[in-house]
Structure 1
Amino acid sequence: MNLKQLRYFLAVAEEGQMTAAAKRLHVAQPPLSYQIKQLEQELGVTLFNRLPQGVTVTAAGKLLVGYAQQLTQLSATAENKVRALAHGITGTINLGTVSSSAGVIPNPALRKWLQQHADVQLSVTEGNTYELLDDLHKRLLDVAVLRTPFNGQHLVCRYFPSERMAAVLPKQYTQFTHRRQLRLSDLAPLPLIKYRRFNELFHVAFLEAGLTPHYLMTCDDARTAMHWASRQLGVALVPRSLAETYDGGDVLIRSLADHRFETHLALVTTNEALETPLVAGFMAQFEQARPLDNFH
């Protein structure tokens, strides 16, 4: 099993047709089919169900897809990092971002750095904090923007200024028009749309206040919570910077009065990644612009 076979396998799995995959890979179909058969023979499994209209991935093939994606991505990352280490000014930075980071990054510091490094590309991966942490430790990412809380052990972390969580309300809740902050007692009877990242935080807060909240939905993407609130379906509980970024003028944004509802975004990398000139230069630019509090 080699990288060429894995790239061919992924192309067929994603396209669902040998012809389309061959066109995408800029190869003839017979060599592509041969490589897939060789891979199947080597593994001793059938990876695709051959049908008149195309192919479908077997159970064994579905298992291989995840590993193949990681291996091919790691190969590309290794190639980029070796080149970047040699030159220090060119290459690709693999950047992970959480959905709730849109209000903070990209920012002027990042724009300035990219303008000064025209030969550098960003490869952005979106996911939740735990997924991105895993990718950092696997060396699939160089840098990630994560949201607290998370385990920062063995990581280099710089934190953006803290921000308050906010309630994003449909404008039909006119009783809150002239309020600047909302209490838990205000929120409990409302249909709440909760960002899963803060499950434990809200559970403990309502429990300690002796209140039983009404949760309409829990989701993994803070932007989804905002979208549902803007459609007048419920009250989204999200970081304020994200709420303000995606505010279309059709909702009310009110901070939560309880001071425990504060959160931070952090720019995070590993000590190993920081040894490469490209990543070190990227982190140094943010340090000079001081958009974050401090290293930990």
Structure 2
Amino acid sequence: MNLKQLRYFLAVAETGQMTAAANQLHVAQPPLSYQIKQLEADLGVTLFKRLPQGVALTEAGKLLVSYAHQLTQLSATAENKVRALAQGVNGTLNLGTVSSSAGVIPNHQLTQWLQAHPDVQLALTEGNTYQLLENLHKRLLDVAVLRTPFNGKNLVCRYFERERMAVVLPQRYQQFANRRQLRLRDLIDLPLIKYRRFNELFHVAFGEEALTPRYVLTCDDARTAVNWANHQIGVALVPRSLADVYRGDHVLVWSLADRRFETQLVLATTTDALATPLVAGFMAQFERAESLD
């Protein structure tokens, strides 16, 4: 199994046809078919079911897809980093971001750095904190914007300002119109929309006050939570910076009074990645460096 075979395999998997994959790769179909057969022979499995109108992945083929993506991406990243090390600060910076970072980054520091390094491109990957952490340690990402809490062992971090969790309410809840912030007790009779990242945080907090909340939706993206609140479905519980960016015209936003609901974004990288000039220069643009043990 080699990278050429994996690239050919991915092209066939994505297009579902040998002819279309050959056109995409700018190769003739016979060499493509040969490489796929060689890959199947090397692995001792059948990767595609041949159909009248094309091909479909077998179970073995479906399993290989995710690994093939990671291997080809890691190969491209390694090639890029080696060349960048020899040439100085240029190339591609692989940046991961959580959905709840939209209110904080991109910011002035990032803009300044990109303007000072016109030969650098950003390759952005969006995901949750745990997915991005895994990709950092696999070296699929150079740096990532994560949200606390998480295990920061072996990471070098830059911390953004702490922020409060916010409540995004449809305007029909006029009983809170004159309030500056809300307490957990104010929320128990409301239809709550929860960002899954904070499942445990809210479970513990409500439990400690012997309160039983009513959740109507739990989602994986904080922007989704605000969007549903904007559509009057319920009351979203999200970081304040994100609420301010994505709030609609017919909602109200208050911070939660409880200090347990402070949260923080973190720009993180690994010590290995920090050894490259590209990553070191990028991290140096942000202040308050701190290593977590």
Note whether the superposition's TM-score is higher than 0.5: yes
User: What is the CA–CA distance in structure 2 between the aligned matches of 1:129 and 1:286, rounded to whole Å?
Assistant: 20
User: What is the CA–CA distance in structure 1 between the aligned matches of 2:19 and 2:230, rounded to whole Å?
Assistant: 43
Question: One-letter code of the match for 1:169?
Answer: L
What displacement does 1:225 show?
Answer: 0.8
User: What is the CA–CA distance in structure 2 between the aligned matches of 1:212 and 1:239, rounded to whole Å?
Assistant: 21
Matched, 1:59 2:52: no
User: What is the CA–CA distance in structure 2 between the aligned matches of 1:47 and 1:98, rounded to whole Å?
Assistant: 34
User: What is the CA–CA distance in structure 1 between the aligned matches of 2:282 and 2:35, rounded to whole Å?
Assistant: 40
For residue 261 of structure 1, what is the aligned residue in structure 2? 261
For residue 277 of structure 2, what is the aligned residue in structure 1? 277
- What is the alpha-carbon root mean square deviation over aligned residues? 1.1
Report the number of matched residues: 291
User: What is the CA–CA distance in structure 1 between the aligned matches of 2:243 and 2:18, rounded to whole Å?
Assistant: 44
For residue 155 of structure 1, what is the aligned residue in structure 2? 155
Question: One-letter code of the match for 1:140?
Answer: L
Asked if 2 retains the 8 angstrom alpha-carbon contact of 1:91 and 1:119, the reply is yes
For residue 191 of structure 2, what is the aligned residue in structure 1? 191
Q: What pairs up with 1:145-184 in 2 under 5 angstroms?
A: 145-184=145-184
User: What is the CA–CA distance in structure 2 between the aligned matches of 1:183 and 1:3, rounded to whole Å?
Assistant: 55
For residue 69 of structure 1, what is the aligned residue in structure 2? 69
What displacement does 1:95 show?
Answer: 0.6
For residue 295 of structure 1, what is the aligned residue in structure 2? 290
What displacement does 1:112 show?
Answer: 1.1
Asked if 1 retains the 8 angstrom alpha-carbon contact of 2:158 and 2:286, the reply is no
Q: Residue deviations 1:222-271, cap 9 Å, x none? A: 11111111111111110010111112222111110111100000000011
What displacement does 1:44 show?
Answer: 1.2
TM-score calculated relative to the size of structure 2:
0.97
What displacement does 1:294 show?
Answer: 4.0
TM-score calculated relative to the size of structure 1:
0.96
User: What is the CA–CA distance in structure 2 between the aligned matches of 1:176 and 1:25, rounded to whole Å?
Assistant: 59
Asked if 2 retains the 8 angstrom alpha-carbon contact of 1:88 and 1:276, the reply is no
User: What is the CA–CA distance in structure 2 between the aligned matches of 1:145 and 1:186, rounded to whole Å?
Assistant: 32
What displacement does 1:50 show?
Answer: 1.3
Q: What pairs up with 1:227-246 in 2 under 5 angstroms?
A: 227-246=227-246
Asked if 2 retains the 8 angstrom alpha-carbon contact of 1:222 and 1:238, the reply is yes
For residue 204 of structure 1, what is the aligned residue in structure 2? 204
For residue 221 of structure 2, what is the aligned residue in structure 1? 221
Matched, 1:79 2:74: no
What displacement does 1:149 show?
Answer: 0.2
Partner SS for 2:161: coil
What displacement does 1:286 show?
Answer: 2.0
Q: Residue deviations 1:151-190, cap 9 Å, x none? A: 1111101110100000111112121222121111111111
Matched, 1:112 2:107: no
For residue 36 of structure 1, what is the aligned residue in structure 2? 36
What displacement does 1:295 show?
Answer: 2.0
- Report sequence identity in percent: 77
Partner SS for 2:67: helix
Question: One-letter code of the match for 2:66?
Answer: G
User: What is the CA–CA distance in structure 2 between the aligned matches of 1:247 and 1:258, rounded to whole Å?
Assistant: 22
Partner SS for 1:152: coil
Question: One-letter code of the match for 1:28?
Answer: A
Asked if 1 retains the 8 angstrom alpha-carbon contact of 2:158 and 2:283, the reply is no
Question: One-letter code of the match for 1:188?
Answer: I
Greater shift in the superposed pair: 48-57 or 206-215: 48-57
For residue 91 of structure 1, what is the aligned residue in structure 2? 91
What displacement does 1:41 show?
Answer: 1.3
Partner SS for 1:252: strand
Question: One-letter code of the match for 1:295?
Answer: E
Asked if 2 retains the 8 angstrom alpha-carbon contact of 1:193 and 1:235, the reply is yes
For residue 16 of structure 2, what is the aligned residue in structure 1? 16
Question: One-letter code of the match for 1:218?
Answer: T
Question: One-letter code of the match for 1:113?
Answer: W
User: What is the CA–CA distance in structure 2 between the aligned matches of 1:26 and 1:179, rounded to whole Å?
Assistant: 63
Question: One-letter code of the match for 2:57?
Answer: V
User: What is the CA–CA distance in structure 1 between the aligned matches of 2:286 and 2:26, rounded to whole Å?
Assistant: 40
The runs of 5 or more residues in structure 2 that have no matched partner are none
For residue 290 of structure 1, what is the aligned residue in structure 2? none
User: What is the CA–CA distance in structure 2 between the aligned matches of 1:244 and 1:24, rounded to whole Å?
Assistant: 43
Question: One-letter code of the match for 2:290?
Answer: F
Q: Residue deviations 1:65-109, cap 9 Å, x none? A: 111111001101100110111122211111110010001111111
Partner SS for 2:92: strand
User: What is the CA–CA distance in structure 1 between the aligned matches of 2:13 and 2:231, rounded to whole Å?
Assistant: 36
What displacement does 1:124 show?
Answer: 0.8
Partner SS for 2:200: helix
The runs of 5 or more residues in structure 1 that have no matched partner are 288-292
What displacement does 1:207 show?
Answer: 0.4
